[in-house]
């Protein structure tokens, strides 16, 4: 699963640590999601969507399916 | 980061507090286990009442350690919990796969020493430590 987390974070000039605090996870988890090593759960994806004021599908994309 | 930072520092401070709590419970359990293991010989001359009390104390402190560990894992984020779960799965598998042949080798005197449970505990501890480090490195 691909995502735009890093771009969205950069647009707001947030560090990984700040985003991690806002999502109530570790910085390592934010890094793993940004680099595609780990896919977040649905609740965490919803939290990210709420935080950025976007829909989940505007942040996360299914790699196997052309949108 | 006021817009988003209502939980700022929450995860890290919560995890730190849980690690410290778990550390104390682990220390208490090790102390209670040492009392149970060495007390009968060195402190109360194998008096059964005191040995039973020491066993009861060890079980009670052990239960507290399990609760502390459960709370620690429950309050980890999902990636850290996955790393822990993977490590526990590998540890359980290694303990089972290594433990049975070890016991068989002892039963048929293939090894020149008794297959003490302590060897298995050491193997489990090392396996869990290596698995956790690998999991952390993998998602770094």
Confidence at B10, pLDDT banded by 50, 70, 90: confident
Quick one: B63 and B33 in the same domain?
A: yes
Q: What is the pLDDT of residues A2-29, one digit of tens each?
A: 999 999 999 999 999 999 999 999 999 9
Total domain count, chain B:
2
Cβ atoms B108, B101 nearer than 8 A: no
Range of the domain at B28: 8-76
Structure tokens at B48: 């059964």
Question: How do residues B79-89 score in pLDDT, each as one tens digit?
Answer: 999 999 999 99
B8, B10, B79: residue with CB nearest A32: B79
C-alpha angle A38-A39-A41 in degrees, rounded to nearest 5: 130
Tokens for A8, please give them: 């969205």
Q: Is B3 within a domain?
A: no
Higher pLDDT, residue A67 or B48: B48
Q: What are phi and psi of A4, to 5 degrees?
A: -110, 20
Which of B59, B76, B93 terminates a domain? The answer is: B76
**For residue B22, what are its two tokens?**
């778990």
Q: In this model, does residue B4 exceed pLDDT 50?
A: no
What pLDDT score was predicted for residue A65? 63
Domain boundary among B44, B76, B108: B76
Beta bridge partners of A2: A61
Of chain B, the percentage scoring pLDDT greater than 90 comes to 89
Q: Which residue of B has its CA nearest to A24?
A: B11
- What integer pLDDT is reported at residue A1 of this predicted model? 87
Q: Inter-chain contact A22–B78, Cβ cutoff 8 Å?
A: no
CA distances from B71 to B10, B50, B65, B108 (A): 15, 31, 10, 42
Q: Which residue of A has its CA nearest to B1?
A: A18
User: What is the pLDDT, as a whole number, of residue B6?
Assistant: 43
Which domains can be identified in chain A, with CATH numbers? Answer: 2-55 (1.10.260.40)
Task: Give burial (CB, 10 Å; 0-12/13-18/19+) of A6.
Answer: middle
Look up the pTM and report it.
0.83
From B76, B98, B131, the end of a domain falls on: B76
Question: Which of B19, B135, B26, B12 has its CA nearest to residue B77?
Answer: B12
Instruction: Provide, as residue numbers in chain B, all residues whose Cβ is less than 8 Å from the Cβ of A5.
Output: none
**Which letter does DSSP use for residue B115 in this model?**
-
Task: Dump pLDDT digits (tens) for B15-66.
Answer: 999 999 999 999 999 999 999 999 999 999 999 999 999 999 999 999 999 9
């Amino acid at each position: 699963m691909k995502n735009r987390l890093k771009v969205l974070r950069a647009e707001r000039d947030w560090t990984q640590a700040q985003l991690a605090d806002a999502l109530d996870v570790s910085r390592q988890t934010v890094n793993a999601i940004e680099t595609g090593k780990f896919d977040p759960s649905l609740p965490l994806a919803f939290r990210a969507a709420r935080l950025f004021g976007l829909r989940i599908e505007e942040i996360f994309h299914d790699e196997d399916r052309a949108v | 980061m006021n817009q988003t930072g209502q939980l700022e520092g929450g995860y890290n401070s919560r995890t730190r507090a849980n690690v410290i709590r778990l550390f104390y419970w682990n220390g208490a359990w090790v102390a209670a286990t040492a009392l149970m293991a060495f007390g009968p010989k060195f402190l109360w001359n194998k008096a059964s009442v005191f040995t039973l009390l020491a066993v009861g104390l060890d079980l009670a402190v052990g239960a507290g350690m399990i609760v502390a560990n459960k709370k620690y894992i429950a309050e980890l984020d999902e990636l850290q919990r996955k790393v822990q779960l993977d490590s526990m799965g590998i540890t359980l598998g290694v303990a089972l796969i290594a433990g049975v042949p070890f016991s068989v080798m002892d039963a048929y005197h293939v090894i020149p020493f008794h297959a003490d449970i302590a060897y298995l505990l050491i193997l489990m501890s090392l396996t869990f430590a290596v698995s956790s480090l690998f999991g952390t490195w993998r998602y770094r």
